[in-house]
Structure 1
Amino acid sequence: MKIKQISSYNGDIIDTILKNRNIKDIDTFLNPNSSEDLNPFDLHNIELGANVLLAHLLINDHIGILVDADADGFSSASIIYQYIKKIEPDSHVSYFLHDRKAHGLTDEISQKIADSSIDLIIIPDAASNDVDELQRLYYMGIDIIVLDHHEVDKMPTHGILINNQLDENKSTNKNLVGAGMAYKFCQALDRILDTHYADDLLDLVAIGQIGDTSDISENEVRNLVFRGLETINNPLVKVAVMDVFGSLEGIAPKDLSFSIIPMINAVVRVGTEDEKDLLFRALNKIGDGRVWNVEKRKKNKKTGKFDKILVEQDLYEYAFDMMKKVKGRQNSMIKKSLEKLRSSTYNEGGISIALLDSSDEAAITGLVANKVAKKYQKPALVLYYKDKKYIGSGRGDEKVLSSLKDWCNETGLVEFAQGHANAFGISIPEDNFEEFKKRTHEVEQNEFVYEVDLIVKENVDRSLIEDVTDNKHLFGGKVQEPLLAFVGIKINKNFIRQKGSMLTFYENGVEFVMYGAPEGLYESLKNNFDRQITMDFVGTPSVNVYGNKRTLQLVLVDCERNESGQYDFIEVPDEITAETIIF
């Protein structure tokens, strides 16, 4: 395991980490402000779009909102819905939900809109490139406002496009995602109407910006996210955060990534139409006064058995329970898919290729690919066969390829591989599939080096982990979480435990936790006559809070036994100063 410390340690772990992330203005990063905020009226078409919406509201027209199928889509649509209801409580507003994980104006959603009675459709977080569909709706007499942040391949000739990526903008902030663009639209409306409603929706802005992994090191985005986390107003978001963390205080960007955001995405992926509808209604207080009588199981302290009791739940408690159930259902689907894939995974090359039975599992191909890549410790494609193509998702492993997506495209055998470097969608024509599988034999593991913020030798320094976890709000999105290496750590074998695929080491009050540990690792460490072993660990600092117990953790990305006392470090060169130059 090769390890490189990114730069010299200056004695302050937080300052060192921020400098390693190329944060130039650390004071502004720590204290974001509105000094550089984008003027919403610098966005092309935004004043026109705002006035068109107000004109439709003035004559009580029927307005529709398309809800795109991810956390950013739900939050940006909710921002628009709630803002309209704030300025015009009696307005006639409908919303349209995808029946599967899809984006923009699909044939199905376009038909739903066409069959409705709406006069104006607002589309946040999608549709910039849906040129033909926009034209069709326009010719049907429906006005269109698109609020998007995706790259535009070809300018639509119909509808009003407001997009922060356009060259036509006077100035822009390309780090705003769908929720950020919805907020800017509401800001413009606030200025026209002399109202102040947009800031009431900053918690939803935070969900969208974090959920779409935007660059939260940028001052305006960071300020919006921090303000949103400090003022969580949305009742459903409150219930979710309180359930996981027990408090609304000190919530960090990454906390939403481990609470409500994956639950929203689970409902989008595998939820029924009714469950998706319940999610949107709960986010937007639609049917706020309704109460559900729900049967729960509660342990009887006297008998030790579980009794069935009826409890009353409001809209937000009921919806959150649903979200947890759907997340559990998604996890079960992933587990079942992995069991079936044992006999249908091609592993002879440097890339695992797993074939699902049908497109019924299309919504979870990316999640399953994550598991397959971890299991076999190499890049993975999870595909299903449909219409003479193998379609699905890819998940890479930087230890093998810097970009699995680029490798796939460079074969010339794929119809497309689109998305992030190591998380993307892919389609391979049936006629090219066998040749593609052969090409995977050319893939060999590169020499991989873990670039860490600090290497600590032969000592588990709890204060370092404490400092990082106390400042967890500083990290998230493109501001990568800290990575630390603890090497030469003596571990008593009695303090090595395994539960399922989770492997845990204990030393000096710190848990070193590896999720999805490779098969056989636990046995290789335990099945010997040594009372203690020496380990090298690389991971991210964290803290586990259970009841009143708080346990420091290092969540491992890798570990290995090392009894040699030799470390495979790439040394950091000394900084060149007058004192270090030798004449």
Structure 2
Amino acid sequence: MKIKQIGTYNGDIISTILENRQIEDLDLFLNPSNENELDAFKLHNMAHAAEVLLAHLMIGNTVAILVDPDADGFSSSSIIYQYIKKIAPESNLIYLLHDSKAHGLTEKILEQIADSSIDLVLIPDAASNDKEEISRLYHMGLDVIVIDHHEVEELPPVGIIVNNQLAWNEDTNKNLVGAGMAIKFCQALDSMLNFNYADEFFDLAAMGQIGDSSDISENEVRYMVFKGIRTLNNPLIQLALEDRFGDVTNIAPKDLSFSIIPLINSVVRVGTMEEKDLLFRALNKIGADETFLVTKKKKNKTTGKFDFYEVNQNIYEYAYDMCKKVKSRQDTMVKKAMAKLETDINNEGGIAIGVLPTSDEGSITGLVANKLVSKLQKPVLLVYNLKGKYVGSGRGYEKVLPSLKDWCNETGLVEFAQGHANAFGISIFEKDFEAFKEKTKEVIPEEFVYEVDLHLEGKVDKQAILDVEDNKYLFGGKVHEPLFAFTGIKVRKDFIEQRGSMLTFYDSGVKFVMYGAPAGLFESLTYNFDKYITMDFVGRPSKDTYGAKEKPILVLSDCERNEKPNIEEPVVTAETIVF
């Protein structure tokens, strides 16, 4: 395991990390502002888009919002939906939901629009490249407004495309995703109408920007995100955060990634149309006065049996419970898909390829691929056959390739690999699939070096771990979470535990946790006569907040036995003991 410390530790771990991330204006980073935010009207077509929407609202036409199926899509659509209802409460406004995790103007959506009385289709977070589909709607007599952030391959000749990635935008901000672009659209409308409503939806913008992995270190995005999580206006988002964290006064951006965002994504992937509709209604306060009589159960401590009782829930409580049930259903689907693939995956080369027998698990290919990456310690492509193509998801592993997406595209054998470097969608024509599989066998892992912000030999810095976790709100985007390395750490062998695929080490009052530990690692470390073993650890700081005292945790990215001879046994103190 090769380790390189970035820069020099100056004695203050937080300032060291920020220096390592090359933050030039520290005061602005710590106190983001809206002073230099992008003028919405500098985005090409923004004024035209706002004028067309207002014209349709003025004459009472039917406006439809097409909701893209992910956290950013639901966020951006909700921002615009609520804004329109704010300025035109009686407007004929409807929303369209996908019945699968498909994006943009699919054939089903086009048929649905054709059979309706819709006059304007508003599409946040998608459709910039739906040239033919937008033309079909245009020739049907409909106006189309796209508010998007995805790269544009070929601009449609008709329709109104507002996209911050277009080259001719003036001083654009390319870090805005669908939700951020929706805010800009609402800011343009605010300016034209002399309102100030857009700021009310910054919590939804925060959810979209974080959910779509944007660079939240950029000032405008950072301002939007921080204002959003400090002024929670959306009841469903607030409920999810309170249930997960209790106190929401010190919520950090990454906390949304462990609460509301995965719940929304699970409903999008595996929820029914009724469940997706309930989610959108709860996010948008549609039916806020509605109540639901729900039967719940609670274990009786005296009898040991479950007692059943009824409660009335509002739409937010009802939708939140539904989201948790769907998330549990999704987790079960992932486990079943993993079981199918354990003995049926091409694992010969540097990249593993799994082929699902049907498209039934198509909505969870990315989740299953993530699990397989942890298990196999290599990049994974998980696909299924659909109409002469193998389509699915790719998940990378940087210790083998810096960008799995780039590698796939460079083979010249894929129809496309689009998304992030190591989390993307892929399509391969059936005729090229066998040749592509042969290519994966040629991949040889590059020598990987862990770049860490702190590397200590023979000791652990508990305070540095706690300081990072106490300042977790600082991290996101290019200011990525730090890695620490503690090497030459002598651990008592009886202080190593395994529960399922989770491996835990305890030393010096710190818990070192490895999730998805490779099979056989526990046995290789403990099946010997040594009382102590010397370990090298690399991981991300965290902490256990249960109980009266905060306890530092290092969530391991990697660990290995240090083969240097032990010079002396460590002194066992109260801090060494398992907490």
Distance 1:162 1:409, change over 3 A: closer
Which protein has greater RCO, CA pairs closer than 8 Å, 6+ apart? 1
| Structure 1 residues 46 and 415, CA gap change in structure 2 (3 angstroms) | closer
Match in the other structure for 1:72: 72
Residue 565 of structure 1 and its aligned partner are, at CA, apart by 5.7
Task: Say yes or no: does 1:390 pair with 2:383.
Answer: no
Counterparts of 1:472-483 in structure 2 under 5 Å?
472-483=472-483
SS at structure 1 position matched to 2:545: strand
Q: CA separation of 1:556/1:106 partners in 2, compared to 1, >3 Å: closer, same or farther? A: same
For the structure 1 residues 20 and 379, does the alpha-carbon distance in structure 2 shift closer, same or farther, using more than 3 Å as the test? same
Partner of 1:536: 536
1:84 aligns with 2:84: yes
Name the count of aligned residue pairs.
566
Question: Are 2:484 and 1:471 equivalent residues in the alignment?
Answer: no
Question: Match for residue 49 of structure 2?
Answer: 49
CA change 1:429–1:59 in 2 (3 A) is closer
Aligned residue in 1 for 2:232: 232
Q: How far does residue 154 in structure 1 lie from its aligned partner after superposition? A: 1.7
1:117, 1:310 → 2: CA distance? 42
2:307 paired residue number? 307
Q: CA deviation at 1:355?
A: 1.4
Q: Secondary structure at the match of 1:535?
A: strand
Is 1:123 aligned to residue 126 of structure 2?
no
Q: Counterpart in 1 of 2:205?
A: 205
Q: Is the 8 A contact 2:21 2:478 kept in 1?
A: no
**Where do 1:554-565 residues align within 5 Å?**
554-564=554-564
Task: Tell me if structure 2 keeps the 8 A contact 1:151–1:165.
Answer: yes
Shift of 1:304: 3.2
CA distance in 2, matches of 1:354, 1:285: 41
> Match of 1:160?
160
| 1:25-57 deviation line (CA, Å, top 9, x unaligned) | 111111111121111111122122112211211
How far 1:441 moved relative to its partner? Answer: 2.2
Equivalent residue runs for 1:484-503 within 5 Å: 484-503=484-503
Give per-residue Cα distances to partners, 1:439-485, cap 9 Å, x unaligned: 22211122110000110222221110111011100002332111111
| Contact map agreement 1:41 1:188 (CA 8 A) in 2 | yes
Aligned to 2:573: none
Counterpart Cα distance in 2 of 1:76 and 1:386 = 30
- TM-superposed CA distance for 1:385, in Å, is 1.8
Give the TM-score of the pair, scaled to structure 2. Answer: 0.95
Residue in structure 2 matched with residue 571 of structure 1 by the alignment: none
Note if contact 1:76-1:124 (Cα within 8 Å) is conserved in structure 2.
yes
- Structure 1: distance between partners of 2:287 and 2:25: 46
Q: Given the superposition, is the C-alpha separation of residues 215 and 380 from structure 1 closer, same or farther in structure 2, using an over 3 Å criterion?
A: same
Partner secondary structure for residue 60 of structure 1:
coil
Name the stretch that deviates more: 557-566 or 37-46.
557-566
Does the residue aligned with 1:355 lie in a helix, a strand or coil? Answer: strand
Which residue does 2:173 correspond to in 1? Answer: 173
Amino acid at match of 2:182: A
Question: Any gaps of 5 or more consecutive residues in structure 2?
Answer: 567-579
Distance 1:50 1:57 in 2: 11
Offset of residue 549 of structure 1: 6.2
C-alpha spacing 1:241/1:548, structure 2 compared with 1 (3 Å):
farther
Question: What is the rounded CA distance, in whole Å, between the counterparts of 1:419 and 1:209 in structure 2?
Answer: 15
The residue that corresponds to 1:336 in the other structure is 336
- Which deviates more, 198-207 or 408-417? 408-417
Distance, in Å, in 2 between the alignment partners of 1:113 and 1:319 is 27
Q: Aligned pair in 2 of structure 1 residues 170, 439: CA closer, same or farther (>3 Å)? A: closer
The question of whether the paired residues in 2 share the 8 Å contact of 1:214 and 1:478 is answered with no
How far apart are residue 388 of structure 1 and its match?
2.6
Q: How far, CA to CA, are the matches of 1:179 and 1:123 in structure 2?
A: 12
Quick one: which amino acid aligns to residue 445 of structure 2? Q
Q: Could you say what secondary structure the match of 1:442 adopts?
A: coil
Cα distance in structure 1, aligned partners of 2:351 and 2:501: 22
Which structure 2 residues correspond to residues 181-200 of structure 1 after superposition, within 5 A?
181-200=181-200
Alpha-carbon distance, 1:553 to partner: 1.2
Map residues 356-505 of structure 1 onto 2, 5 A cutoff. Answer: 356-505=356-505
Alignment of 1:280 with 2:280, yes or no, is yes
| CA deviation after TM superposition for structure 1 residue 427, in Å | 2.1
Distance 1:379 1:170 in 2: 39
Letter in 1 for 2:326: V
**Residues 316 and 40 of structure 1: is their aligned pair in 2 closer, same or farther, counting only changes over 3 Å?**
same
Instruction: Write the letter of the residue equivalent to 1:443.
Output: V
Q: Which residue of 1 aligns with 2:26?
A: 26
**2: distance between equivalents of 1:550 and 1:271?**
38
Q: Tell whether the 8 Å contact from 1:232 to 1:248 is kept in structure 2 after alignment.
A: no
Structure 1, unaligned stretches of length 5 or more? 567-583
**Counterpart of 2:155 in structure 1: which amino acid?**
M
- Is the 1:488–1:565 Cα contact (8 Å) retained in structure 2? no
Aligned to 2:173, what secondary structure does the other structure show?
A: coil
